[in-house]
Chains A and B, each alone.
Chain A
Amino acid sequence: MSYPTSSSSTSHSSSPSPIAIPKGHTKSKSILKHPMRDAASYLTALSQADADARAAAARKNRFADTNSDAGSTHSFMTTSTSTSKSSSSTSIEYDDRNVQNLLSADIAHRYDELDNSPYSSEEQALHQFNFKHSEFGHCADESYRFTSAWKPNTPVINHLDEDPSYYILLTTYFSYLILIVLGHLRDFFGKRFHSHAYKHLMPSNGYAALNSDFDSFYSRRLKARMDDCFSRPITGVPGRSITLLDRASDDNNTTLRLTGTTSRALNISSYNYLGFAQAQGPCADAVEEGIRRYGVSACGARLEAGTTDLHNQVESLVAKFVGTQDAVICSMGFATNSTTLPALVGKGCLVISDELNHASIRFGVRLSGANVRTFKHNDMESLESLLREVISQGQPRTHRPWKKILLVVEGLYSMEGTLVDLPGIMKLKQRYKFYLYVDEAHSIGALGPHGRGVADYFSVNPGSIDILMGTFTKSFGASGGYIAGSKPLISRLRVRSHAGCYTESMSPAVLTQIMASMASIMGVRPPAVGPGIVTTVSEEDDNSNKLTLTINPASSTGPISADTYIHPGPAPASSLPSWLHLPPYTLSGSEGQTRLRRLAFNARYLSRGLNKLGFITYGHSDSPIVPLLLFHPGKMTLFSRLMIARKVPIVVVVVGYPATPLVSGRARFCLSAAHTKQDCDSVLRACNEIGDAIDLKHGIPVKERWTLDEVIARAVELVNMNILPFEYSKTPFEDKTGFKAFSKHLSPQGTHFAPPLLQIKEDSGEIFVLSQTPAILAYIGPKLGLGGSNEYEHATINQLTLTALDLSNEAHDVHHPISNSLYYEDQKPEAKRRAEDFRENRIPKFLTHFETVLQNNSSGVLVGSTISTADLTLFQVLDGLHFAFPRRIGALRKSGEYTHVFQLYDRVKDELKDYFGSKRRREYSMGLYRDYPELDQE
């Protein structure tokens, strides 16, 4: 494995910049010779270094089995990169869910020998903060990148229900009980012996207490104990690292005083998702220019002469970014919700609100006067039953139909890290006709292959979401918020939202920051392009194998009506003021892409890493917010203090009751594109040590856990873990089931007959596409270590795979006995006849064959001593038969005649139970295997 880190070059304190430089690379040396004059040239140099590193550090050959010269990949020092001659990466594209499942099995927990090069040590990491990278870390390794995108037709999996043991629950309740009892005792005696300290909590002199002792009990007796963990003051940029103003207390946190010293810590707490919290670099340069030109205030409300040309420019850029017709901005994110919602709904309207929605939404809804109902967090069933109830019942008492129903959800929930089930909601929206309001405060910029939020992530047309709200405080490193939507909606909000008349308009400094950061994410299209729609299929593009459909703004008047997301493309140069200069690296969009992909990697790496270490985390694994469950109130304090007491201090956010349910106190990590992989390693290492020390690991069973070293070493694999054959074999791949670009291979002119397709991309950029399940299996088997240990085994595996697939074909022919071109209903009588024969004769015949093979090979697998593609194929076929002929297979299992076959089946099922239990496993539908009860019998 390759871990080019930035650390070793910093071990010499004189080194100016910890850039990973491929050894012996002449060009890179010249970069360092040039003094960095300013941020722009620095970034250009960075991008150059990145490109060089990418070219030189060609991907490591992952197929150790087939490579006799695997030695070249070993002992990979941090400053050098090695190349292997025949390296290739694989990208797999499926169109057939059954075959995908077939491939989704892998047992061999094999991976290349761990790299024994030293990880960046903590001192070195600390050292880095002293240099340029305190705001934005340098990370040149292209394998530490990922694309944040949803795989179509997969369920949206949010972990929220991982309950700890009763022991944890009980002790947590008990901790609170002790705290409460102690608190009351102290109050009881305090009021009698220190009455002056309680004066402001008691009615006095005819005034009721501003804040009674009862109301303030929680903050005085529980929160005060951990006050040193909250509201820690800082100075400087809240970037990759943060500078804390040290505090101390001489009176048990009653007062905290500044000691006058500061300390620098790794910052895993700020909402700085894309790392735009920077005092240097293109954005800050632009802001400086903006302030020089516009000052810091626009002096007034938008409708009362508080609008400058800059406001209008930002609004059209935001609309472009989000992919809607228009947008309106507001100078505070909180107020964006609280002033817009009352303008949309009122008496006679119903707001359906997720139970965990942000305070600003609740505030706005309360102001609106509309009725509110809540549904269980992100639970589509609860939502649907509520919708059915409220629409059929109408308004309370009068039963009049509701004027409108507005569903308000967040894209990404900031306390749980859960991602909204947008596909589910869009389905319900069609049926139930409610309006949809999505608060993208945390998801805009942070999610989706282009950073355009949940619509981008789920590939939903943003035009089909009625109201898209977002804030600039997070990903853009600015402040304020926006509402994006159709032109009529936005125009109405301009005059009807409280913000238009009454709130101060946004500061020009903030506007410039928004414009510069947004343009960096989007890239800027040079002026003068012809009108029309430009379709580019950029499969060779190293950055993304995605089909990008760009629409020229000149010709587009609004969102194209389509169900899927159409990437709005880069910002047109005309949308930026002429004085706003961005360096080429930023203009091209590569800076933005790098940030997006670094964030996506970091997010997955940390959440999956923590899981593998045995912690309970909440949320979606693509979420940059990773809550780590701590449970006990005492551990929250302890965790926070221990993290900050480390050699490389790490600042964390801990939240407990009442912001969370009583028993689920947690630490919340917010990842950033500014973090390097080493930063994530540091966090994992810290969590691992502290977790062991204070007993925080209550997640997956001990035997499934990985060690810290393993997690760190297998980071790339963790991040890409999705389809199991590739999962442990470290093969970069992309699942493109249902992907359109793909149809060209299958078209009449294409060279492939049917899905599935496997696409292999050589490093040279050449693409090789392979179809037919047996051919794909034969090809990937050896590469994944599932193809036997010698060529005879390989051939036998192939042979048995084909036999198993024959059974699968026969299973298919049962419901299509006459022809594939006729409907099942048109050949039903025949199907019944065939089914009978299939059940009685064919299945037993095949199973007997496999049973014999298994009996003859004592190791419990078909060939050799380890699981191979033949075993997996047999498993998959059996599993399909289980689905299609449950009664028959059940009877055969009971008969006891095929014990070895079913043992093998159970073994695979058990070893992959994670996967099968996870819903990642696609469900059978009307494909090869169909569940027609009339065809099944015992």
Chain B
Amino acid sequence: MTSSLPTPSINPALDPVFAFLQSSYALAESTWTKIPGSAMIGRYIRSSHRNDPGRTILEIMLVLWAIRTLLQSRTRSGDENYVKLSQKEIDELIDDWIPDPLVETLSSNEVNELANLPVIQGPSGPKPRLVNNGGKQVTNLASYNFTGLAGDERITSRAIETLRKYGVGSCGPPGFYGTIDVHMELEQNIASFLGTESAIIYSQAFSTISSVIPAFCKRGDIIVADRGVSFAVHKGIQVSRSTVRWYDHNDVKSLEDALESVEREQIKKRLPLTRRFIVTEGIFENDGAMVDLPKIIALKHKYKFRLCLDESMSFGTVGRTGRGLTELYNVPATEVDLLVGSLATGLCATGGFCAGTKHVVDHQRINGTSFVFSAAMPALLAVSASEGIHILTHNPTKLTTLHENTCIFRSILDKVEGIHIPSHPASPLIHIQLVGGETKLAVPPSSPIGLRRKVNLTLSQLPKLSNPQSVLPGNPVQFDIEAEERILQEVVDEALSQGLLISRAKRLRGQEVVEPRPAIKIAITNALTRKEVEKAAATLKNAIVKVLNKRKK
């Protein structure tokens, strides 16, 4: 063997070391030769080294690099920020660590709120009984029962029929034997009701939009969204991780500016073509304002954006037969690329839907997270929704009455001093906010997030242009949330004592992306007569006047 070195004993003490080295080399060599194919590799290395020594170095470096990356990926914490600690130190740190409590205990306000939550005894409807007041009947303007489908005989009897054929639960997600014929029928019904090619149903309204947006909008895609969209839409945008540009609440001019700036930016930076969406609501859940759909559609075409319209509050509540904004403005629903709606709000069933082209819908069947990873909706609720659509289609008076009731209610409330109603006159969802004065707010009344109104402003108060990259408006309106909520709650309590059930718009204070202004939320229903609505409006008016007067003193 070439390795049999002469070993000139430099230092006799080192002899055993050399002997050991030599024997281990011999061992290594013999093991190496035992590996099948080793001879070939050896030959390869030798010949390549002979021909090109530089290459050997390169190859060795490559191998080392490969090993390094391999090892690195295992032992994480390769970042320089990682502090090396001994086991003892780690143990001490663990002993010392005291986590925060899992949750904060409730404040007395919150305890009160929970304790006084209205609890309906028996079925919900226009005139339910409440557990809170010992089972007395109240007039209900708090529940989403716009077209009076709650408790409809036709729906309950269809539901029972379905129960007897399908049971209750679907016991599986749509992909795994959870797609029931009644789901497909409901999807078909929604699509033909709206006039789109196709539709898909989700088993909860809130979770619909937050799955629809991320199904299409990925990192790098562009969303231009209204600052006043609902919590659910905000969550959908957040999950999508797309680039977001915000425009002022329900402000078409601001939208156009935002679209323009996106276009300019794309041209300037020569960005590749990405998916671009306008995301807004039909009737805003946060204040009842309504978008000008035809204008938005015009802009969408002009700037080649797609439109994602959340009609959770407008489907089943506006339009001649409740088809929503597209019917109200008489634009084809096919103009809206992603039309999202709620079957719970509009049809007193459960779940949500997204209507669009077949491609749009089929894509969600694989990519809509809460569609794919959640059990399909119970058959009897799907049938209830289908029946709801059937009833709306065949009873246009339902919507007419609803609209009339809305007008009656507004006509009384609009005249009340000290409050502001940001909602659209046609919207059966009505928000009532306080105006300045008694809460010592030095700001003009405004919609939740600063819908600009004509107020005389000094130069310094002139609105700054808002920055599309920030979700906050340029001239944020300030309000004292706690004080306003307290007053509004007093109004709610006063109304309840007069037999009218209404509710504050409940918010997740501290978790909202933009804090909406406190408001009382009224859901008009067609199940009450004209007289009853008048009476309810008068009760509310008196309650407001009473509470505000008391405050003034």
A contact residues vs B (CB 8 Å cutoff): 135, 200, 203, 205-211, 216, 219, 223, 230-239, 242, 245, 267, 269-272, 276-280, 283-284, 287-288, 291-309, 311-312, 331-335, 338-339, 342-344, 358-360, 363, 366-367, 388-389, 391-393, 396-397, 399, 401-405, 431-435, 466-467, 471-474, 476-479, 488-489, 491-496, 498-504, 507-510, 513, 651, 653
Q: Could you tell me if B168 and A509 are in contact, using CB atoms closer than 8 angstroms?
A: yes
Partner of B168, one of A335, A402, A471, A477: A477
Show 17 residue pairs from A and B whose CB-CB distance is below 8 angstroms, ordered by the A residue: A207-B273, A207-B275, A279-B163, A279-B165, A295-B124, A295-B152, A295-B348, A297-B124, A304-B142, A332-B370, A332-B374, A338-B210, A391-B97, A472-B169, A479-B377, A488-B103, A502-B231
Q: Please name the 7 residue pairs, one residue from A and one from B, whose CB atoms are nearest each other, closest first.
A: A305-B142, A504-B344, A299-B143, A334-B374, A332-B204, A473-B375, A492-B103
- With a cutoff of 8 Å between Cβ atoms, the chain A residues found around residue B264 in the complex are none
- With a cutoff of 8 Å between Cβ atoms, the chain A residues found around residue B501 in the complex are 305
CA distance in complex: A219, B105 (Å): 48
CA distance in complex: A625, B205 (Å): 30
Q: Could you tell me if B511 and A393 are in contact, using CB atoms closer than 8 angstroms?
A: no
Q: A270-B172, A435-B99 are in contact. Are A292 and B124 (CB under 8 A)?
A: no
Q: Could you tell me if B348 and A432 are in contact, using CB atoms closer than 8 angstroms?
A: no
Per the 8 Å Cβ criterion, residues 18-65 of B in contact with A are none
Q: Could you tell me if A492 and B105 are in contact, using CB atoms closer than 8 angstroms?
A: yes
Q: Could you tell me if A271 and B375 are in contact, using CB atoms closer than 8 angstroms?
A: yes
Q: Could you tell me if A304 and B177 are in contact, using CB atoms closer than 8 angstroms?
A: no
- With a cutoff of 8 Å between Cβ atoms, the chain B residues found around residue A466 in the complex are 102
- With a cutoff of 8 Å between Cβ atoms, the chain B residues found around residue A299 in the complex are 124-125, 143-145, 150, 348
Q: How many residues of B contact A (CB 8 A)?
A: 116
Q: Could you tell me if B204 and A335 are in contact, using CB atoms closer than 8 angstroms?
A: yes
Q: Could you tell me if B170 and A389 are in contact, using CB atoms closer than 8 angstroms?
A: no
- With a cutoff of 8 Å between Cβ atoms, the chain B residues found around residue A510 in the complex are 168-169, 378, 381
Query: Smallest distance from the beta carbon of A673 to chain B beta carbons, Å?
Result: 13
- With a cutoff of 8 Å between Cβ atoms, the chain A residues found around residue B123 in the complex are 293-295, 308, 508
- Taken residue by residue from 320 to 347, chain B's Cβ proximity to chain A (1 for < 8 Å, 0 otherwise) reads as 0000000000000000000000101100
Q: A230-B175, A367-B238 are in contact. Are A309 and B121 (CB under 8 A)?
A: yes
Q: Could you tell me if A500 and B203 are in contact, using CB atoms closer than 8 angstroms?
A: no
Partner of A284, one of B167, B238, B373: B167
- With a cutoff of 8 Å between Cβ atoms, the chain B residues found around residue A499 in the complex are 206
Q: Could you tell me if B114 and A231 are in contact, using CB atoms closer than 8 angstroms?
A: no
Which stretch (B243-251, B359-367, B415-423, B479-487) binds chain A? Answer: B359-367
Query: Smallest distance from the beta carbon of A602 to chain B beta carbons, Å?
Result: 16
Q: Could you tell me if A303 and B370 are in contact, using CB atoms closer than 8 angstroms?
A: no
Query: Smallest distance from the beta carbon of A52 to chain B beta carbons, Å?
Result: 29
Query: Smallest distance from the beta carbon of B186 to chain A beta carbons, Å?
Result: 13
Q: Could you tell me if B167 and A477 are in contact, using CB atoms closer than 8 angstroms?
A: yes
Query: Smallest distance from the beta carbon of A509 to chain B beta carbons, Å?
Result: 6
In the assembled complex, B106 has its CB within 8 A of some CB on chain A: yes
- With a cutoff of 8 Å between Cβ atoms, the chain B residues found around residue A232 in the complex are 177, 179
- With a cutoff of 8 Å between Cβ atoms, the chain A residues found around residue B359 in the complex are 200, 210-211
Q: Could you tell me if B204 and A297 are in contact, using CB atoms closer than 8 angstroms?
A: no
CA distance in complex: A291, B162 (Å): 12
Query: Smallest distance from the beta carbon of A776 to chain B beta carbons, Å?
Result: 45
CA distance in complex: A25, B362 (Å): 58
Nearest residue, chain B, Cβ from A339:
B206
Q: Could you tell me if A308 and B119 are in contact, using CB atoms closer than 8 angstroms?
A: yes
Partner of A304, one of B121, B168, B505: B505
Nearest residue, chain B, Cβ from A209:
B275
CA distance in complex: A504, B168 (Å): 18
Q: Could you tell me if B177 and A404 are in contact, using CB atoms closer than 8 angstroms?
A: no
Per the 8 Å Cβ criterion, residues 524-538 of B in contact with A are none
Query: Smallest distance from the beta carbon of B393 to chain A beta carbons, Å?
Result: 19
- With a cutoff of 8 Å between Cβ atoms, the chain A residues found around residue B366 in the complex are 219, 223
- Taken residue by residue from 102 to 120, chain B's Cβ proximity to chain A (1 for < 8 Å, 0 otherwise) reads as 1111100011011001111
Q: A295-B156, A501-B506 are in contact. Are A433 and B204 (CB under 8 A)?
A: no
Q: A210-B363, A277-B171, A359-B373 are in contact. Are A502 and B206 (CB under 8 A)?
A: yes
CA distance in complex: A433, B511 (Å): 26
CA distance in complex: A486, B334 (Å): 49
Partner of B348, one of A211, A296, A404: A296
Q: Could you tell me if A338 and B370 are in contact, using CB atoms closer than 8 angstroms?
A: yes
Q: A237-B166, A477-B171, A479-B378 are in contact. Are A651 and B177 (CB under 8 A)?
A: yes
In the assembled complex, B127 has its CB within 8 A of some CB on chain A: no
In the assembled complex, B93 has its CB within 8 A of some CB on chain A: yes
In the assembled complex, B239 has its CB within 8 A of some CB on chain A: yes
Nearest residue, chain A, Cβ from B306:
A207
Q: Could you tell me if A296 and B93 are in contact, using CB atoms closer than 8 angstroms?
A: no
Query: Apart from A270-B172, A404-B99, A501-B231, what are 10 other A-B pairs with CB-CB below 8 Å?
Result: A203-B273, A235-B182, A284-B163, A288-B160, A303-B503, A359-B369, A360-B370, A360-B373, A473-B375, A513-B169
Nearest residue, chain A, Cβ from B206:
A503
Partner of A295, one of B77, B150, B235: B150
- With a cutoff of 8 Å between Cβ atoms, the chain B residues found around residue A272 in the complex are 169, 171
In the assembled complex, B384 has its CB within 8 A of some CB on chain A: yes
Partner of B169, one of A339, A477, A501: A477
Partner of A331, one of B89, B106, B350, B521: B350
Nearest residue, chain B, Cβ from A212:
B275
Nearest residue, chain B, Cβ from A433:
B99
- With a cutoff of 8 Å between Cβ atoms, the chain B residues found around residue A297 in the complex are 124, 149-150, 344, 348-350, 384
Q: Could you tell me if A236 and B508 are in contact, using CB atoms closer than 8 angstroms?
A: no
Chain A CB within 10 Å, residue with most, of B131, B370, B508, B521: B508
Partner of A288, one of B82, B110, B163: B163
Q: Could you tell me if A393 and B179 are in contact, using CB atoms closer than 8 angstroms?
A: no
CA distance in complex: A474, B170 (Å): 9
Query: Smallest distance from the beta carbon of A396 to chain B beta carbons, Å?
Result: 7
CA distance in complex: A219, B363 (Å): 9
In the assembled complex, B507 has its CB within 8 A of some CB on chain A: yes
In the assembled complex, B17 has its CB within 8 A of some CB on chain A: no
Q: Could you tell me if A305 and B118 are in contact, using CB atoms closer than 8 angstroms?
A: yes
CA distance in complex: A536, B493 (Å): 50
- With a cutoff of 8 Å between Cβ atoms, the chain B residues found around residue A283 in the complex are 168
Q: Could you tell me if A304 and B506 are in contact, using CB atoms closer than 8 angstroms?
A: yes
Q: Could you tell me if A495 and B110 are in contact, using CB atoms closer than 8 angstroms?
A: yes
Q: Could you tell me if A344 and B102 are in contact, using CB atoms closer than 8 angstroms?
A: yes
Query: Smallest distance from the beta carbon of B431 to chain A beta carbons, Å?
Result: 13
Query: Smallest distance from the beta carbon of A95 to chain B beta carbons, Å?
Result: 35
Partner of B102, one of A435, A472, A507: A435
Query: Smallest distance from the beta carbon of A516 to chain B beta carbons, Å?
Result: 9
- With a cutoff of 8 Å between Cβ atoms, the chain A residues found around residue B443 in the complex are none
CA distance in complex: A402, B85 (Å): 17
Q: Could you tell me if B94 and A388 are in contact, using CB atoms closer than 8 angstroms?
A: yes
- With a cutoff of 8 Å between Cβ atoms, the chain A residues found around residue B125 in the complex are 295, 299
Query: Smallest distance from the beta carbon of B316 to chain A beta carbons, Å?
Result: 12
CA distance in complex: A238, B165 (Å): 11
Q: Could you tell me if B207 and A332 are in contact, using CB atoms closer than 8 angstroms?
A: yes
Query: Smallest distance from the beta carbon of A724 to chain B beta carbons, Å?
Result: 38
Q: Could you tell me if B77 and A279 are in contact, using CB atoms closer than 8 angstroms?
A: no
Q: Could you tell me if A501 and B384 are in contact, using CB atoms closer than 8 angstroms?
A: no
Q: Could you tell me if A498 and B231 are in contact, using CB atoms closer than 8 angstroms?
A: yes
Q: Could you tell me if B159 and A344 are in contact, using CB atoms closer than 8 angstroms?
A: no
CA distance in complex: A622, B204 (Å): 32
- With a cutoff of 8 Å between Cβ atoms, the chain B residues found around residue A393 in the complex are 77, 82-83
Q: Could you tell me if A488 and B276 are in contact, using CB atoms closer than 8 angstroms?
A: no
Nearest residue, chain B, Cβ from A304:
B503
Q: A205-B304, A287-B163 are in contact. Are A309 and B142 (CB under 8 A)?
A: no
Q: A232-B179, A509-B378 are in contact. Are A404 and B122 (CB under 8 A)?
A: no
CA distance in complex: A396, B103 (Å): 23
Chain B CB within 10 Å, residue with most, of A238, A297, A358, A401: A297
Query: Smallest distance from the beta carbon of A567 to chain B beta carbons, Å?
Result: 26
Partner of B521, one of A295, A304, A344, A392: A304
In the assembled complex, B318 has its CB within 8 A of some CB on chain A: no
Q: Could you tell me if A433 and B97 are in contact, using CB atoms closer than 8 angstroms?
A: yes
In the assembled complex, B174 has its CB within 8 A of some CB on chain A: yes
